A and B are shown apart, each in its own frame.
Chain A
Amino acid sequence: EPEVTQTPSHQVTQMGQEVILRCVPISNHLYFYWYRQILGQKVEFLVSFYNNEISEKSEIFDDQFSVERPDGSNFTLKIRSTKLEDSAMYFCASRVGLTEKLFFGSGTQLSVL
């Protein structure tokens, strides 16, 4: 079964450093997403991406965050200057259409020290 692939599985960084989280969505999917989950809390929407542009973003997704689909297969989330409160599990997700189910990757655990 096709799956969403995320790398790395764990990332440790110092506060103020830039990090890039990488995802390879399922190949025929058109809609791409980033979600995050702080330990013990709910899965929170960050951003959706369609047709090479952001279609919606949450209030969490401020100027420190950016997304890119550089080559038609990868989908990346960049955090420009990490803060302690950015520590969370980040999930990439994709789907074929807006009413279809979301497929999630296994996540990148980001720890900001």
Chain B
Amino acid sequence: EDQVTQSPEALRLQEGESSSLNCSYTVSGLRGLFWYRQDPGKGPEFLFTLYSAGEEKEKERLKATLTKKESFLHITAPKPEDSATYLCAVPNQAGTALIFGKGTTLSVSS
């Protein structure tokens, strides 16, 4: 059973068109939810960690929020350089490893 589910699988936006990506998780006793960005052929690059419901973090055009069952990555006025796959991850039950969702592939056209 998937512990992390991301939606949508793919998202196409026009430059400047804001939207949100969703990550829902099923692990209990969450010890952090992590967002990463992955460019083609590269390793995941860390964006944010959220630890408690209600927490928000921002970086440039990205804002991540967390509730008890899901997290959102809001993208405001995206640019073509924001095109990438965005990955969500949570610790496994033992807390010894991060388990990743399948990701949302974002394409932003000018």
Q: Which residues of A contact B92 (CB under 8 A)?
A: 45, 56
A65 CA to B62 CA, complexed, in Å: 38
Q: Which residues of A contact B43 (CB under 8 A)?
A: 4, 91, 93, 104-107
Given the contacts A99-B32, A102-B46, A45 and B99 also touching, CB distance less than 8 Å: yes
Query: Closest Cβ of chain A: how far from B64's Cβ, in Å?
Result: 13
- Chain A: interface secondary structure? strand
B97 partner, pick from A33, A91, A105, beta carbons under 8 A: A33
Query: Closest Cβ of chain A: how far from B106's Cβ, in Å?
Result: 16
| Most A CB within 10 A of own CB, among B44, B95, B102 | B44
Assess the A56–B103 pair: CB atoms within 8 A.
no
A98 partner, pick from B42, B45, B96, beta carbons under 8 A: B96
Given the contacts A91-B43, A104-B43, A107-B43, A43 and B96 also touching, CB distance less than 8 Å: no
Q: What would be 6 A-B contacts, judged by CB atoms less than 8 Å apart?
A: A42-B100, A43-B89, A44-B100, A45-B92, A99-B32, A104-B44
B interface residues with partner A (beta carbon < 8 Å): 31-32, 34, 36, 38, 41-46, 49, 87, 89, 91-92, 94-103
